Amino acid sequence: MSAQLTVTRSGEAQQVPVGTTAGDLFTEQRDVVVARVNGELRDLSHELAEGDVVEGVPVSDPDGLAVLRHSTAHVMAQAVQQHFPGTKLGIGPPIKDGFYFDFDVERPFTPEDLKTLEKTMQRIVKEGQRFVRREVGDDEARAEMADEPYKLELIGLKSSAGEAADGAEAEVGEGGLTIYDNLRRDGSVAFRDLCRGPHVPSTRLSGNGFALLRSAAAYWRGSEKNPQLQRIYGTAWPSKDELKAYQERLAEAERRDHRRLGVELDLFSFPDEIGSGLVVFHPKGGVVKREMEDYVRRRHIEEGFSYVGTPHISKGGLFETSGHLPYYEDTMFPGMALENSKYYLKAMNCPMHNLIFRSRGRSYRELPLRFFEFGSVYRYEKSGVVHGLTRVRGLTQDDSHSYVTPEQAPGEIRHLLDFVTGLLSDFGLDDYYLELSTRGDSDKFIGSDEEWAKATAVLQEVAEGTGLELVPDPGGAAFYGPKISVQARDAIGRTWQMSTIQYDFNQPARFELEYTAADGTKQQPVMIHSAKFGSLERFFGVLTEHYAGAFPPWLAPVQVVGIPVADAHVEHLQQVAAELRRRGIRVEVDDADDRMPKKIRTWTKQKVPFLLIAGAEDVENGAVSFRYRDGSQENGVAVADAVEKIVDAVARRVQV
């Protein structure tokens, strides 16, 4: 009888022969592509040991899907080296919805190259090459990767630092070095790479569910000081149907891209003369921005906030006191030497609000004390991450800070969460969940363990009390305290981080903020940061994509356009427009020489909510005909009723 060992599968112990692999336990579960052994992901070829706890990970699981994508990245890299001999390999990790791989190649890839590579990848998939893992020492790894300079660099960094280099976790990770060989049926090596794995057993599992999306330039290990490589992005899914569904989502996202709509609808632009990541709003975009500002200003005042204003620039010492400068100087615009001091464009508003609090003595009777402003801040984002309105270098925050007693903190956080969720719903974003960002192991966090634990417990208790889904985000906190962020899903299911609420016990101490308590003692307040939009620019971009540019009437730059059937009907529509303007509606009358059908097409493309058409019968009856954005029409509506219908839709913030 062969030697046995005991392993636990699905909570039940069982005896298996020595030499049993993880895959042997799941031969009847064809969707299992990798195993979790004692909590760690392992290849299905991994031999089990006494006492191992084993769980099969299907390709539908996020971990299983990530492994499939990483394996497909290796298939792509093999195809690249076949077609472009001499290409050197960078890194190729899985990412959200896909993967990428970086290459040092003689010329940039073209769209035609990607099509050719896809065909070669299909051949590699059909060959059914096996992914085989080998543990190697540093010297052996160097010998086998002698022709791959970027891999040699990673090996050197691993050897000297004892940990993975930034961005290279998929290559070397923690522990010893490993190499994966792609073996053909005859046992010959088709491809080899330094990689920590795990991988799917065979290239066949990549099936037909992959596609190469685009290529771009990327600096090695993300540093502008390093060589520029060529990156290919791809996606991989368990089936062709899932791939097709994803491609349809991509196509819809492209149709909704706020950068394209910003041009088509004449909302905003990014002039080269001003600089990357710095937006200018055109008149129509200015209308949407003003409506957003008017709304959130009014709502802050209703919620007990006092409006304040602070400058765009400050001496650097202010940001040293707050603790920001040591952590964020690299993402702040360079300091300017003026009058024997170094000034910075502000990247955050909170230090200046602290100075307002500290400007005179405060009593417990004033708390909660709430400050709010439209604070313009500037952050030197790398050009590679600047993206339309959603990642800019100059942004305006609807920034607020509440100063409260420790006992008031839970109530204030509940108050802010109600404010935030109500705001999102008013703007049509009513599908959201909460994320709790807490302290990680990094040395970037300041404050004691006890303070962090207390702050985190308060946020968690309040968040759980809302009944909303709460997702943990370990290590995602700001350096001064934990935070709750509201993650909103848009019309096509994408998730965006919107509003944030942060519990800060550090800055009040650093600025020596205090209030006089009921017993006459001096006490330190808790500071709660909150941004409802996050930034106006980002929120504007998200709204544009959520509505595909068809803003609800209350936000639409032009709410109504009057279209006469003939010149004789212009005066009638001008009278209707005058009444609408008197009621606060943004309205135009198109009296150009174009024919009526062309005018309708023009304004429909501009996504105007209401088109009012008038012909001879409408003039005679004191009426108009409604044409809505979906092409439907309502004829012969009395002018007074039409005005009330429009005013009501704007007032109730309905979508039409």
- 70's CB contacts (< 8 A; 6+ apart) are 92, 93, 94, 99, 170, 197, 199
401 is catalytic: yes
397 is catalytic: yes
Residue 16 CA, distance from chain mean position = 46
CATH class name, domain 560-651? alpha beta
Q: How far apart are CA 211 and CA 111, in angstroms?
A: 12
379 is catalytic: yes
Q: Which pLDDT score, from 0 to 100, does residue 163 have?
A: 45
Residue 47, strand partner residues: 21
> Annotated binding site, which residues?
350, 401, 529
Q: Which pLDDT score, from 0 to 100, does residue 256 have?
A: 96
What is the DSSP track for 61-83? Answer: SHHHHHHHHHHHHHHHHHHHHHH
Catalytic position from the list 74, 379, 393, 439? 379
Where in the chain are the domains?
4-58, 63-253, 268-545, 560-651
The pTM of the full predicted model, rounded to 2 decimals, is: 0.85
DSSP 8-state code for residue 265: T
Catalytic position from the list 130, 151, 362, 401? 401
Helical (H) or strand (E) element with 105 = none
70 is catalytic: no
Q: What is the pLDDT of residues 553-562, one digit of tens each?
A: 999 999 999 9
399 is catalytic: yes
Q: Residues 529, 350: contact at Cβ < 8 Å?
A: yes
Sign of CA dihedral 103, 107, 113, 119: negative
Q: Which pLDDT score, from 0 to 100, does residue 297 have?
A: 95
DSSP 8-state code for residue 333: P
Q: Which of the residues in the chain have pLDDT under 50?
A: 162-167
546 is catalytic: no
Q: Which CATH superfamily is domain 268-545 in?
A: Bira Bifunctional Protein; Domain 2 (3.30.930.10)
Tell me whether strands 130-136 and 341-345 are parallel, antiparallel or unpaired: unpaired
Catalytic position from the list 46, 195, 231, 350? 350
> Annotated binding site for Zn(2+), which residues?
350, 401, 529
Catalytic position from the list 74, 324, 483, 532? 483
Q: How far apart are CA 71 and CA 57, in angstroms?
A: 15
Q: What is the pLDDT of residues 169-228, one digit of tens each?
A: 556 555 689 999 999 999 999 999 999 999 999 999 988 899 999 999 999 998 888 999
CATH of domain 4-58: 3.10.20.30
Closest CA to 180 of 165, 164, 161, 200: 200
Q: How far apart are CA 427 and CA 654, in angstroms?
A: 10
Fold of 63-253: Threonyl-tRNA Synthetase; Chain A, domain 2 (3.30.980)
Catalytic position from the list 399, 490, 504, 590? 399
Vertex 246: Cα angle to 242 and 251 (nearest 5): 145
Closest CA to 373 of 529, 487, 486: 529
Sign of CA dihedral 411, 416, 421, 426: positive
Catalytic position from the list 78, 129, 230, 397? 397
Q: Which residues of 432-460 are buried (b: 16+ CB within 10 A; e: fewer)?
A: bbbbbbbbeeeeebbbeeebbeebbebbb
